[in-house]
Amino acid sequence: MKTFIFSLLCLALIMFGLSLYFENQVEAAFPRLEAPIGKRITVAGTELHLADHPADPDADLLPMLFIHGASGNLRDLQAPLAEKLEGRGRMIFVDRPGHGYSERGDGEDMQMPWSQAELLAKLLDELDIDKVIVVGHSLGGSTAAAFAVNHPEKVAGLVFLAPATHPWPNRDLSWHYDVANFPVVGGAFSQLFAVPFGQLLYEDGVRSVFKPQPIPEDYIETADTKLILRRANFQYNAEDVGALYDAVAEIALRYPEIKVPTSILTGDQDDVVLADIHSKGLEQDIKGSKLVWLKGEGHMPAWTNPDTVIREIERVSAEAKLAN
């Protein structure tokens, strides 16, 4: 028995050491963004990391707030879209609380989309921005929707990219989310095993969100999504995903309150979220919204079809200007 316990302790120490090593490697490869674009702003006691791209004097688009999805960070949307939109409107790309280089915050329900939306609304106040076009990808779509429901005075329009916004059959999640959210065992899994084994499985995971299309050549180097392979980041992400079903079951009842111009873009080959439930659900719930089907595409429209995403941002911005 003593030998068995000693072996377990040795294994735990080895895995903990590997986790620390890989975390240091990841942070060295993908550091915080530098000023003046990269900023750290404390909102309600929580430091948020963001990229703030200014508008040119002749900007034709309203300010935009970009909210990334699960296992991501601000670079997941900034990398494919910022250069194409540079100067046309002020752009705020932010690491959601507990992701990238943003702190989690002290709230008991920071895994809920409305709590994250609350911090983002306060961030806009700090940045002196009145209204934005909110662009939300995947799980970030639930945060965008909660933002629109709870802070309608700050939302000029919405663009959803492959959103996760409605309850889905059987509440199914990938196994590692279930393990990470299991009491006691989940914490040990995130601390000891998630990072080393995540390194081995990372490219397969990326491939699954892009299929049936290939991974873009520069995605891994520029999207910085390996930042998820850090212990706290992994655990917070699992908490967000684990809470999503109950969160959207509650907040979806209020989607008909949304009255701003809205676009929903979704791949018809998306295996990550069920477009027939989430995207069609939004189209039904938000009067006047536009659903754009991307033929033969998966879960990453900002990367695989940025021009169409930008056209819908342009459309929503133009309609919002007319409405005001």
pLDDT digits (tens, 9 = 90+) for 237-281: 999 999 999 999 999 999 999 999 999 999 999 999 999 999 999
Distance of CA 135 to the CA centre of its chain: 10
Q: Radius of gyration over alpha carbons of the chain, in Å?
A: 19
What b/e sequence results for 48-66 when a residue is b if at least 16 CB atoms lie within 10 Å of its CB, and e otherwise? Answer: bbbbbbebeeeeebbbbbb
Asked if residue 137 lies in contact with residue 115, where contact means CB atoms within 8 angstroms, the answer is: no
Edge-to-edge strands of the sheet including 91-94? Answer: 38-43, 46-53, 91-94, 64-67, 132-137, 155-161, 262-267, 290-294
Q: Which residue has the tokens 């990841």?
A: 26
Q: What is the pLDDT of residue 323?
A: 87
Contact at 8 Å (CB) between 89 and 63?
A: yes
Each residue's pLDDT tens digit, 233-248: 999 999 999 999 999 9
Note whether 147 and 133 are within 8 A (CB): no
Kindly report, residue by residue over 1-29, the tens digit of the pLDDT. Answer: 677 676 778 888 988 999 999 999 999 99
Give pLDDT, residue 1: 67
Pairing of the two strands 46-53 and 38-43? antiparallel
E strands, 25-118, are 38-43, 46-53, 64-67, 91-94
User: What is the spatial distance between Cα 119 and Cα 248, in angstroms, rounded to a whole number?
Assistant: 18
Q: What is the CATH number of domain 10-323?
A: 3.40.50.1820
The answer to whether 289 and 165 are in contact (CB under 8 A) is no
Beta-bridged to residue 94, according to DSSP, are 50, 67
Task: Report the predicted TM-score, pTM, of the whole model to 2 decimal places.
Answer: 0.96
Give pLDDT tens digits for 60-117.
999 999 999 999 999 999 999 999 999 999 999 999 999 999 999 988 899 999 999 9
For residue range 157-204, list pLDDT tens digits in order: 999 999 999 999 988 889 889 899 988 889 999 999 899 999 999 999
Cα 227 to its chain centre, rounded Å, is: 13
The mean pLDDT of 306-317, rounded to a whole number, is: 98
Asked if 228 contacts 71 with a C-beta cutoff of 8 angstroms, the reply is yes
User: How, if at all, do strands 290-294 and 262-267 pair?
Assistant: parallel
